[in-house]
Amino acid sequence: MTTPPHDEAGPTANPDQQSREEDLVERVLKSFDSCADPRLGQLMTGLVRHLHTYIREVRLTEEEWRRAIDFLTRCGHITDDRRQEFILLSDVLGASMQTIAVNNTAYGDATEATVFGPFFVDGSPEVRLGGDIAGGAAGEPCWVEGTVADTDGKPLPGARIEVWEADDDGLYDVQYDDERTAARAHFHTDDEGRYRFWAITPTPYPIPHDGPVGEMLHAVGRSPMRASHLHFMVSHPAGRTLVTHIFVRGDELLHSDTVFGVKESLVKDFDRQLAGTATPDGRAVDGTWSKVRFDIVLAPARTVPVV
Ligand code: BEZ
Ligand code: FE
C-alpha cells in the first residue's frame, strides 16, 4: 500500500513544529501525574501517547477529526441492548482478538479461545445431553459430540457448556422480529466429561453491516462476512472459562473472516452424511445431516500470565 499524498510533511520535518507537538504530548501526560490508581494512570497515559503518535504520524486534518467524532457518535446512537456497535468496531479492527490473545496465553494443549461476539444471551434454555438446540431455527441438522478435560487429560464432569449459532439465513434469534429463542442452549457434561447435542450445520453470515461499522467496511473495500462457526462457552471450577468457536473445514471464508477469529486448531471436519444414514442416537432425519467432534481442553483456573 502506498502512503497517500498530503500537504504536510511528516512529523519530523520542522524542528520547531516537532517541539511544539512534543511539548503538548508531555503536558497531557503530566496531567495524569496525580492519578491515585496506578493502573488507571498507566492505561490513560498509554492511550494518550499512542493517540498523539497516530495523529502526528498520519497528520490528521481537522475535517478528518470531525468525521471520526461523527462516526463514534453514530456508533453510540445505533447501540442499544440488542445492538452493540462498539463491540463490532473492536472486532473488525482486530482489537477483540488482540485482547483475547493477551489474556488467554497458550497453556499446554488447552483449546484456543476466540472472539465472543455480540450475540451471546444469558439465560439460554437447558437441554438434555443429546437434545436439540435448534428450537425451530432453519438449517441442516448437525450432530456435535466431544469431551471436556483438563490439561492432564482428566475428564471434567459437570462442565457447563453454552452453545449458540446463526440459522441458515445468517440470523441469530436476537435478530428476529419476535422474542423467540432459537439455536442457543446450555447443558452439562456427564460423569465422564462427555457431551453431545443436535445443532444446525453452521453457514457463513455477515456481521450487522447496516450501521457505521458496515459503512466503514464498505469504504475500505472489506467484506462483512464471517466464516461459518458454532459458538461455545465452557466453564468448570477447575478450569479457565473458555470462549471459543469451531469452524468448518473447507469453508472458503476461513482466510478472510472479518473479525480475524479463525485459528487453525479450531477448524473441524463437519462430515456430511447422506440422507438415510443412521444417526448416532437413532433420531429420524429427513435429508442430509452432518457430524463433528470437538474435544475441549480447559487451561487450569489460575494460569500465570506471560508479560
Ligand atoms: C459472532 O460470531 O457472532 C460475531 C462476532 C463478531 C462480530 C459480529 C458477530
Ligand atoms: Fe457468530
What is the spatial distance between Cα 31 and Cα 33, in angstroms, rounded to a whole number? 6
Residue 9's pLDDT is 44
- The protein residues having their C-beta less than 5 angstroms from ligand 2 (an ion) are 117
207 burial level (CB within 10 Å; 0-12, 13-18, 19+): buried
Which of 78, 119, 245, 266 to mutate to test ligand 1, by most ligand atoms within 8 A of the CB atom? 119
Nearest bound ligand to the CA of residue 114: 1
Nearest residue (CA) to ligand 1, atom 2: 117
Per the CB < 8 A criterion, the answer to whether 285 and 279 are in contact is yes
Atom nearest to 164 CA in ligand 1 = 3
- How many CB atoms within 10 Å of residue 93? 14
pLDDT value at residue 190: 98
Mean pLDDT, each 10-residue run in order, the chain (307 residues): 50 84 98 98 98 97 98 97 90 96 88 93 96 96 98 97 97 90 97 98 95 98 97 96 97 96 97 96 96 97 61
pLDDT recorded at residue 144 = 98
**Span from the CA of 224 to the centroid of ligand 2 (angstroms):** 12
Domain with CATH 2.60.130.10 in the chain: 94-298
pTM: 0.89
DSSP 8-state secondary structure symbol assigned to residue 194: E
- Ligand 1 center to 117 CA (angstroms): 4
Q: Are 268 and 292 in contact (CB under 8 A)?
A: yes
What's the topology of domain 94-298? Protocatechuate 3,4-Dioxygenase, subunit A (2.60.130)
Residues with CB under 6 A from ligand 1: 88, 91, 115, 117-119, 207, 226, 259
Residue 26: predicted pLDDT: 98
How big is the chain, counted in residues? Answer: 307
